[in-house]
Amino acid sequence: MRQMISNGNFAVGDKMPAERHLAEQLDVSRALLREALIMLEIQGLVEVRQGSGVYIIRLPDGGTPKGDDSDIGPFELMQARQVLESSIAEVAALTVTKTDIEALQRILQIQEQEVQEGITDYSSDEQFHLRVAQATQNSVLAESVNCLWLQRRGSPMWEQLHRHITNTTYWRRWLDDHRAVLNALKRKDPVAAKHAMWQHLENVRETLLLLSDVDAPEFDGYLFRSLPITLPKPEEKA
């Protein structure tokens, strides 16, 4: 797409074709196309306007573009987290200690305060997920989660996607999700813990999809779109 702009297919001020048309023209998935649009937005070449579309605002200057074309796509990263962290929560429910529970409770108290004060820097969110992984008592699993978060923190696309998520409604929902994970760990219920973590990350994914809808009032940018991944709910205990 950057090459198309460089070749003169579009001029500054032009509206780009609809997403579906572009995906067909380039023979790529809409997920890949959205990630390309995010990168073009990061590079300052396009602007996504609510209820209108994507517009060219600058032509490439031939220099090194801002952003990294090897940046991991948001869908890949979220999918990896959902698969890995839900299984980690399942294991943690069997190995969690009193010290782990107390640490997680303190993190949630910090999160609650941050939500009340409108602080959304993700640090306590990251701490919660890392502490759940540490509760497995398995350093390899803990380091795996840490690596995913390092990739997220270093991703220009994630920064672009999250910089406008300031609505505390979303953060409260995710805080409630964290409480559900913690409650399952307290009960040492691996099935419930796995489901709670999976559903939490699914809720995050769905929120970001909502914010990626150009026509939605909550619109804030582009993100992947894919078929939802579902996980069976745990059976009710008698």
pLDDT digits (tens, 9 = 90+) for 15-45: 888 877 888 888 887 667 777 777 787 777 8
Instruction: Clarify whether residues 101 and 196 are in a common domain.
Output: yes
Whether 118 and 168 have beta carbons less than 8 Å apart is answered as yes
Q: What is the CATH number of the domain that holds 14?
A: 1.10.10.10
The token pair at 45 is: 């070449």
**Strands (E) located in 80-234:** none
Residues 172-192 have a mean pLDDT of 97
The pLDDT value recorded for residue 116 is: 85
Number of domains in the chain: 2
Instruction: Clarify whether residues 123 and 39 are in a common domain.
Output: no
DSSP assignment of 169-196: HHHHHHHHHHHHHHHHHHTT-HHHHHHH
The pLDDT value recorded for residue 181 is: 98
CA dist 170 and 18 (Å) reads 29
Residues 61-68 have a mean pLDDT of 53
Give the domain range for residue 85. Answer: 74-211
Q: Answer whether 0.85 is exceeded by the pTM.
A: no
Instruction: Clarify whether residues 120 and 34 are in a common domain.
Output: no
How do the residues of the chain divide into helix, strand and coil, expressed in percent and rounded to 5? 60, 5, 35
Instruction: Clarify whether residues 195 and 101 are in a common domain.
Output: yes
Per-residue pLDDT tens over the stretch 118-162: 776 678 999 999 999 999 999 999 999 999 998 888 777 777 666
Is residue 191 in a domain?
yes
Instruction: Clarify whether residues 101 and 198 are in a common domain.
Output: yes
